[in-house]
Amino acid sequence: MGYSRDQRLALCDTLAEAGPDAPTLCAGWTALNLAAHLVLREHRLDAGAGIPGGPLAGHTARVQDRLASRRSFPELVETIRNGPPRLSPWAIPALDERANTVEFFVHNEDVRRAAPDWKPREISPGLSDTLWARLRVAKLTMRKIPLGIEFARNDDAAGATGGAGGTGPGGAGEAPDFRMTIRRGTPVVTVIGPPAELTLWAMGRTAAAKVQLDGTEAAVKILSQAHWRI
């Protein structure tokens, strides 16, 4: 079962309800800026190459600004809702599912959690499992942090595996599947939370994510002050 389409539609509903001037967790961006970013990402591959930064970042910013100024907010949201062009790489189902499930989930929370009266939304067990599996990408993005880092899942699915000291699906001797080593090293900080919250934390929304950092005071301070490229 895939979750990308559901997360796309949920994000579009949130954007439409919030309106173009709504704040987001993306520094300096309103909902209008975020919508323009998402349209650029799927419809302007020439500009999308500059999203991570680098020499094309200026071109990306100019294209995004033009989209935000020349197209109405409802039009941008509807373009996102309708999905990428048929010949776009993002239209490949496997790529869409692997990349966009997390992308749309996180950006939905970027809008939701920027509102002062936001409330947690219910996350299905299947989506939680998918987000948990995608967290492995943090092994790349957090590889330069000078600590050992571990994620610990503490939602209902984690309890079903046997709790602390349980075994993974492969039987005795394997690491329990509710823990994930992100970076080996000492000292170790364990980041504890449901997959949804761990995803937001790993994607740089550290202030908005409801997680617990467990480790020595010094190690927790280092991790709390660390930055990593998404």
Helix and strand numbers (H, E) in the chain are 12, 4
- The answer to whether residues 67 and 97 belong to one domain is yes
- The answer to whether residues 8 and 101 belong to one domain is yes
Q: Of 112, 140, 155, which residue sits at a domain end?
A: 112
- The answer to whether residues 133 and 34 belong to one domain is no
Residue 211 lies in a domain: yes
- The answer to whether residues 108 and 169 belong to one domain is no
Q: Of 112, 143, 159, which residue sits at a domain end?
A: 112
Predicted local confidence at residue 167, as pLDDT: 36
Spatial neighbors of 224 by CB under 8 A, at least 6 apart, are 206, 213
The CA distance from 229 to 46, in Å, is 21
Domain count, the chain: 2
Residue 230 lies in a domain: no
Q: Is the pTM of this model over 0.85?
A: yes
The CA distance from 174 to 16, in Å, is 46
Query: Across-strand partners of 188?
Result: 148
Residue 58 lies in a domain: yes
- The answer to whether residues 39 and 85 belong to one domain is yes
The CA distance from 127 to 40, in Å, is 26
Residue 175 lies in a domain: yes
Predicted local confidence at residue 54, as pLDDT: 80
The CA distance from 217 to 189, in Å, is 10
Spatial neighbors of 39 by CB under 8 A, at least 6 apart, are 67, 71, 76, 79, 80
Integer-rounded Cα Rg, in Å, for the chain is 19
- The answer to whether residues 105 and 162 belong to one domain is no
Predicted local confidence at residue 177, as pLDDT: 78
Q: Answer for the pair 25, 205: CB distance below 8 angstroms, yes or no.
A: yes
Residue 208 lies in a domain: yes
Torsion sign over Cα 127, 201, 121, 29: negative
The CA distance from 183 to 176, in Å, is 17
Residue 120 lies in a domain: no
Domain residue limits at 148 = 125-225
pLDDT digits (tens, 9 = 90+) for 46-90: 877 778 778 878 888 999 999 999 999 999 999 999 999 998 888
| For residue 98, pLDDT beyond 60 | yes
- The answer to whether residues 92 and 188 belong to one domain is no
The CA distance from 176 to 151, in Å, is 12
- The answer to whether residues 18 and 89 belong to one domain is yes
Predicted local confidence at residue 45, as pLDDT: 82
Torsion sign over Cα 26, 29, 30, 35: negative
CA distances 49 to 28, 30, 56, 67, 159, Å, are 21, 22, 7, 16, 41
pLDDT digits (tens, 9 = 90+) for 1-56: 689 999 999 999 999 999 999 999 999 999 999 999 999 999 998 877 778 778 87
pLDDT digits (tens, 9 = 90+) for 110-139: 999 999 989 889 999 999 999 999 999 999
pLDDT digits (tens, 9 = 90+) for 146-200: 999 999 999 876 655 444 333 343 333 344 479 999 999 999 999 999 999 999 9
